[in-house]
């Protein structure tokens, strides 16, 4: 494990034990190996993966006390970001990784096996469908997503999964004031309230990131999320 990775994590007050260091190393190796046969990431260089995937995933500690969280669902997890790094560093978490591509799910299952992770599950399918199922709806403390989607659309995918009092925290970059403003009504319709935006630069870089903290204040109406495809095509206004 590189000193650079360790010092970037130290800036987030994260210190890894030997097992966790090995898990990140193995995760990196498998990511690069599987990436040769399927498109998981455009980033494969060691320091860049550490910085733009691992450190970025863990930077949520700037916005949320992860020790107070027990259950997390990661919507559109892709190659496992941010859910898997969070599980490695905070092993107490019950983590669910959801993705619509089955080959990604196979990769995630291989990682979970190789790293010996417990109390973590993968779901293959659409966010709109699983959000209707009793065992997942309004049952998580925290929903996270690094998926690239408009905040109004993402909120419709994600807010139904968190219980009242829980939080949805999307990972965003760049200038997001307008997007936050334009999505506040959609968030409200879904039972949420935008509490604050936490802005920062990734440790040791000039890469600007933002976390939008959305708290769930009332139950989401049964008709949300709308049927597959609609939240993306016609975001709530």
* pLDDT number for residue 153: 95
Separation of alpha carbons 133 and 190, rounded Å: 17
Is the model's pTM score more than 0.85?
Answer: yes
pLDDT tens sequence across 183-231 = 999 999 999 999 999 998 888 888 889 999 999 999 999 999 999 889 9
Whether the bond into 166 is cis, omega within 30 of 0 = no
pLDDT tens sequence across 17-66 = 999 999 999 999 999 999 999 999 999 999 999 999 999 999 999 999 99
Q: Are 198 and 213 in contact (CB under 8 A)?
A: yes
* pLDDT number for residue 202: 87
Reported as half-sphere exposure (CB side, CA atoms, 13 A), residue 8 has a value of: 24
Contacts for 21 with CB less than 8 Å, ≥ 6 apart: 1
1 has a pLDDT exceeding 80: no
**Measured over all CA atoms, what is the biggest interatomic distance in the chain, rounded to whole angstroms?**
50
How far is residue 214 CA from its own chain's centroid? 14
- Rounded (10°) CA dihedral 132, 134, 139, 145: -30
Type and span of the H or E element at 164: strand 162-173
Sorting pLDDT into bands at 50, 70 and 90, what band is 157? Answer: very high
pLDDT tens sequence across 82-141 = 999 999 999 999 999 999 999 999 999 999 999 999 999 999 999 999 999 999 999 999
Which among 151, 152, 170, 157 has a CA at the least distance from the CA of 211?
Answer: 170
pLDDT tens sequence across 55-85 = 999 999 999 999 999 999 999 999 999 999 9
Instruction: Provide Rg for the chain, Cα atoms.
Output: 17
% residues pLDDT > 90 (the chain) = 89
């Amino acid at each position: 494990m590189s000193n650079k990775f360790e010092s970037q994590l130290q800036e987030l007050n994260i210190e890894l034990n030997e097992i966790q260091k090995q898990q990140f190393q193995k995760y990196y190796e498998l990511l690069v190996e599987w990436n040769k046969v399927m498109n998981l990431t455009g980033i494969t260089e060691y320091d860049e993966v550490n910085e733009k995937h691992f450190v970025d995933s863990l930077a949520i500690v700037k916005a949320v006390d992860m020790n107070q969280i027990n259950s997390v669902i990661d919507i559109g997890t892709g190659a496992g970001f941010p859910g898997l790094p969070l599980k490695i560093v905070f092993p107490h978490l019950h983590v669910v990784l959801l993705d619509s591509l089955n080959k990604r799910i196979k990769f995630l299952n291989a990682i979970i096996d190789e790293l010996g992770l417990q109390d973590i599950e993968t779901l293959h399918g659409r966010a709109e469908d699983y959000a209707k199922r009793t065992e997942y709806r309004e049952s998580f403390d925290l929903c996270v997503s690094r998926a690239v989607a408009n905040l109004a659309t993402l909120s419709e995918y994600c807010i139904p999964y968190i219980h009242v009092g829980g939080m949805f925290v999307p990972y965003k970059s760049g200038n997001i004031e307008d997007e936050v403003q334009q999505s506040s009504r959609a968030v409200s319709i879904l039972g949420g309230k935008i509490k604050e935006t936490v802005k920062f630069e990734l440790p040791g870089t000039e890469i600007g990131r933002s976390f939008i903290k959305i708290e769930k204040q009332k139950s989401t109406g049964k008709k949300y999320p709308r049927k597959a495809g609609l939240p993306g095509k016609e975001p709530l206004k």
